[in-house]
Structure 1
Amino acid sequence: MSQSLLFAFVLFATVMFITPGPNNVMLLSSGLTYGFRRTLPHIAGITLGMGFMIAAVGLGLGTIFITYPVLQTVLKYAGAAYLIYLAIVIAMSGTATTGQDNLRGPMTFWGAAMFQWVNVKGWVMVIGTITAYAAIASFPWNIVIQTAISLVVGTVSTVAWALFGSALRPLLTSPSAVRAFNIVMAVLLLASLYPVFMDA
């Protein structure tokens, strides 16, 4: 096993997971709107969904996308449309107070897991993981190591973003402050679409 490549991959995974992107913006907003406990399925969906995606692509699913490149285009624009929808929902949401649920509710485990397949930043991470860091170990152990590291780093990062969002709850007490915060988060989510349209 290449120790230097392993260290480089841990650094790559940390940067990809911890920097702002669609997942982290949604977790921040969910933590604020619904609280940490209700955001746990969203956290698990992102972490396990991304880990499964790395494993599936690394073990051969990627050849389907090479054979049928139109599938990548379809996923890219479906993901963009879904992110626009999520940005609208986030912008219109307010704090879910005790005894009064927000009508939409937090993202579910399956919703978050499936979202990874249309998440542009997720695909950048998966492709970078499978190609640039394939020499960590011999196949299929390289995929096992990459998936395991992604699960650990992903868990730490997603928990941190959701906790940060929930820590803002006592500070943003008025409905107008929460609405303003969520509008900013929605704009950041839309800004994350920039690479999609620049690639078009």
Structure 2
Amino acid sequence: MEYVLAVTLFAISASITPGPNNILVMTSGVNFGVKRSLPLLTGICVGFAVMLLLVGLGFSYVFSRYPSLHFVIKCLGVLYLLYLAFVIAFSSAAIEGKEQHRPLSFINGALFQWVNGKAWVVASGAIAAFTSVGGEFSGDNIVIVLTFLLVSFPCVGVWLMFGSMLKNLLNTANRRRWFNLTMALLLVLSVIPVLKEIVTAL
């Protein structure tokens, strides 16, 4: 029971604190509302659970054996993150126009976990801290995955609701434009540490 409580507290703190996932969800809530942002929210939560499972099964070991693969994924990840920042930065124009851009999808949210630096840190930390060597490892891994899956929905969902509430305050095109540009800038800033790693490795 103490073990499950410890994992739950870790999952809550990791899921509800600011990060790229929550920035994406909040921005989607501002621009598209709760209902249209639910696929993105679900993709983030399910995608991170899958990532946790794969990391626990030894996916990180594959990267340690083949660092070039990790480097390639990291480079593609940076490009994908910059693309998402671009989408966010210019999504405000769509709201005022006759044709609205679509919000990010379930697949966008799920794939985003693999380029999200915070997700990698949390996944690696959770597996290292809350698993034991031996026959209990698989059971521990499943507990961690299920706990994060259940906890992440309400924790990340808080940011979606917050974004939806902000929609009433950001009721002009100019306010939304500045909000989206700010959120896009925060995503770009989150890429800087990864960019430094890439440049150092070249």
Residues 15-73 of structure 1, C-alpha deviation per residue, up to 9 Å, x if partnerless? Answer: 22112211111111100001110000000100001001111221233322121122222
2:128 to 118, 131, 137: 131
Distance in 1, Cα, partners of 2:127 & 2:181: 35
Distance in 1, Cα, partners of 2:178 & 2:95: 17
Distance in 2, Cα, partners of 1:112 & 1:135: 30
Partner of 1:107: 104
2:83 to 82, 85, 88: 85
Residues 151-196 of structure 1, C-alpha deviation per residue, up to 9 Å, x if partnerless? Answer: 0121112211111111111111100000011111111111212331
Distance in 2, Cα, partners of 1:128 & 1:161: 23
Is 1:118 aligned to 2:126, yes or no?
Answer: no
Distance in 2, Cα, partners of 1:115 & 1:162: 17
Per-residue deviation, 1:99 = 8.7
Distance in 2, Cα, partners of 1:100 & 1:10: 44
Distance in 1, Cα, partners of 2:41 & 2:106: 8
What are the ranges of 5 or more consecutive residues in structure 1 without an aligned counterpart? none
Distance in 1, Cα, partners of 2:152 & 2:188: 22
Distance in 2, Cα, partners of 1:88 & 1:24: 17
Letter in 2 for 1:15: S
Residues 89-148 of structure 1, C-alpha deviation per residue, up to 9 Å, x if partnerless? Answer: 211111755993423x11111121112112111111111111122139912110110001
Partner of 1:146: 144
Is 1:27 aligned to 2:43, yes or no?
Answer: no
Partner of 1:197: 195
Is 1:155 aligned to 2:153, yes or no?
Answer: yes
Per-residue deviation, 1:198 = 4.3
Distance in 1, Cα, partners of 2:130 & 2:48: 16
Partner of 2:175: 177
Higher share of residues assigned helix: 2
Is 1:18 aligned to 2:20, yes or no?
Answer: no
Please say if residues 81 and 115 of structure 2, whose CA atoms lie closer than 8 Å, have aligned partners that are also in contact: no
Instruction: Name the SS for the 2:127 alignment partner.
Output: helix
TM-score by length of 1: 0.89
Distance in 2, Cα, partners of 1:95 & 1:171: 17
2:37 to 36, 39, 47: 39
Letter in 2 for 1:78: L
Please say if residues 28 and 161 of structure 1, whose CA atoms lie closer than 8 Å, have aligned partners that are also in contact: yes
Q: CA 1:138/1:122 → structure 2, altered by over 3 Å: closer, same or farther? A: same
Letter in 1 for 2:124: I
Q: CA 1:188/1:99 → structure 2, altered by over 3 Å: closer, same or farther? A: closer
Per-residue deviation, 1:9 = 2.9
Distance in 2, Cα, partners of 1:95 & 1:135: 51
Q: CA 1:34/1:145 → structure 2, altered by over 3 Å: closer, same or farther? A: same
